[in-house]
């Protein structure tokens, strides 16, 4: 049985606690939360601490706090030579304080507390300082996911940038699309089949091949009409930058 302690009580911490609680061979022995109320629905009160000095022995400590706080939190852990990992896509492993054995357990998915996820399909990117700790991390990752990847800190940084383009920026474009719908009394729901098909298509085709729309067709009259319709400078700028990017990329093919 692997004893795991989760540090943090936000999106990732809550999803990990839920997944490990259901997993075979793993026990969430404790969790650290500055606001214990955030995770009382997931763990019994006696397992939640708000003081690092109350942390007991665990095989693996998972720091799932904001990127900015990872180094500071790792430095506050009151023990040495235990396995401590973080869950960030962009923070190098060696930013964890060196008094413990270090590693990374990065689940490549977008997590929001209110939305359930199927962990078995989520890639987990692992890194560690020693082969022995890597085996422990594989055992832990295998308990919740079938997709394990060995990714070093440099690769993970690039992967995270790719993920920001694929998910965070795309979601912001949904937000702008929703604003445009609202401005014209249209329901955002009408776009949902299009959104579903757009993401389904890249499961079968390279994204550049799946590109459609006025930019890749060089339909300049339509592009001009769209720019006329957009009210906000920010929307116009994004429309122009993406149009140029689509056209420049298509020329390279």
Site map 70..109 versus ligand NAP, x via CB under 6 A: --xx-------------xxx-----------------x--
65 binds ligand NAP (CB under 6 A): yes
Token pair of 147 as six digits: 């997709």
- Please give the size of the binding site for ligand NAP, defined by CB under 6 A: 22
Contacting residue, 21, 22, 25, 34, with ligand NAP by CB under 6 A: 34
Site map 231..250 versus ligand NAP, x via CB under 6 A: --------------------
37 dihedral zone (left: phi>0; alpha: psi -120 to 50; beta): alpha
> How many C-beta neighbours within 10 Å does residue 246 have?
19
Question: Minimum distance from CB of 236 to ligand NAP (Å)?
Answer: 30
CB-based contact 19:38 (threshold 8 Å): no
69 binds ligand NAP (CB under 6 A): yes
Q: What are phi and psi of 114, to 5 degrees?
A: -80, -5
Question: Minimum distance from CB of 183 to ligand NAP (Å)?
Answer: 29
Question: Minimum distance from CB of 83 to ligand NAP (Å)?
Answer: 17
Contacting residue, 66, 182, 199, 234, with ligand NAP by CB under 6 A: 66
> Closer CB to ligand NAP, residue 70 or residue 223?
70
Q: Between residue 102 and residue 141, which ones bind ligand NAP under the rule CB under 6 A? A: 107, 110-111
Question: Minimum distance from CB of 57 to ligand NAP (Å)?
Answer: 20
For residues 133 and 205, what is the distance between their CA atoms, to the nearest angstrom? 38
> Closer CB to ligand NAP, residue 71 or residue 247?
71
Distances (CA, A) of 227 to 171, 194, 233, 237: 21, 21, 10, 9
Question: Minimum distance from CB of 125 to ligand NAP (Å)?
Answer: 10
For residues 148 and 63, what is the distance between their CA atoms, to the nearest angstrom? 19
The site for ligand NAP (CB under 6 A) is made up of 8-13, 34-35, 38, 64-67, 69, 72-73, 87-89, 107, 110-111
């Amino acid at each position: 049985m692997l004893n795991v302690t989760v540090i943090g009580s936000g999106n990732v911490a809550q999803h990990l606690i839920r997944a490990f609680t259901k997993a075979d061979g793993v026990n969430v022995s404790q969790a650290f939360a500055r606001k214990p109320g955030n995770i009382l629905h997931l763990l019994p009160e006696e397992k939640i601490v708000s003081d690092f000095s109350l942390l007991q022995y665990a095989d693996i400590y998972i720091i799932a706090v904001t990127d900015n706080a990872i180094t500071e939190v790792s430095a506050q852990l009151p023990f040495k030579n235990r396995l401590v990992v973080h869950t960030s896509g962009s923070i190098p492993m060696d930013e964890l304080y060196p008094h413990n054995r270090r590693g990374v357990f990065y689940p490549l998915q977008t997590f929001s507390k209110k939305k359930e996820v199927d962990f078995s399909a989520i890639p987990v990117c692992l890194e560690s300082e020693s082969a022995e700790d890597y085996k422990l991390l594989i055992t832990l990752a295998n308990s919740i996911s079938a997709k394990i990847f060995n990714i070093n800190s440099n690769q993970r940084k690039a992967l995270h940038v790719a993920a920001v383009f694929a998910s965070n920026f795309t979601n912001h474009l949904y937000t702008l699309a929703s604003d445009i719908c609202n401005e014209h009394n249209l329901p955002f729901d009408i776009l949902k089949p299009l959104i579903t098909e757009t993401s389904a298509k890249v499961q079968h085709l390279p994204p550049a091949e799946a590109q459609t729309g006025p930019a890749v067709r060089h339909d300049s009259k339509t592009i001009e009409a769209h720019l006329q319709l957009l009210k906000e400078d920010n929307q116009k700028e994004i429309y122009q930058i993406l149009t140029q990017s689509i056209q420049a990329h298509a020329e390279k093919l």
